[in-house]
Amino acid sequence: MADGFDELMAAARAVRANAHAPYSNFKVGAAIRGESGRIFVGANVENAAYPQGQCAEASAIGAMVAAGDRRIAAIAVVGGEPGNELCTPCGGCRQRIREFAAPDTPIHVGDPAGLRRSFTLEALLPHSFGPTNLAF
Ligand code: THU
């Protein structure tokens, strides 16, 4: 597919293998195409103190920001298994993506076998609150 889609999905799938998910056994990988064209990856990082766990999308956003990019052109999330429910981003991660993305930014959701479904940010987080809602 065009625009490096295959590369983005492959990056999300590859980084999923590095997830630290000993408590849920639910490994997730995320890959972001930044505005520079670079790809930033992250995996979920769980913790023995359960609430301190971090989602794959949050890890990838941190990598993007640390590297200097500030816009998400596209994001791919790979988790779960074929036949199971989609590994759509959680509510908190939808908001995290919102900070750096546009309403039409694609969010590709897959499992290790490949793409399952593509959404836009607007579809997953309608009527969202973002930087422009702050009146200063
Ligand atoms: N998880 C993610 O990393 N991203 C998602 O989109 C959904 C859920 C993680 C959080 C936790 O480590 C595990 O998957 C089970 O919820």
CB of residue 110 inside a 6 A radius of ligand 1: no
Non-local CB neighbours of 25 within 8 Å, separated by 6+ positions: none
88 domain-assigned: yes
Based on the structure, what is the number of domains in the chain? 1
Q: Look up the CATH number of the domain holding residue 38.
A: 3.40.140.10
Domain enclosing residue 17, as ranges: 5-126
49 domain-assigned: yes
Active-site annotation, residues: 57
pTM: 0.96
What gap in Å lies between CA 5 and CA 76, rounded to an integer?
A: 9
Could you report the per-residue pLDDT of 17-54, keeping only the tens digit for each?
Answer: 999 999 999 999 999 999 999 999 999 999 999 999 99
Q: What per-residue confidence (pLDDT) applies to 1?
A: 45
131 domain-assigned: no
CB of residue 90 inside a 6 A radius of ligand 1: yes
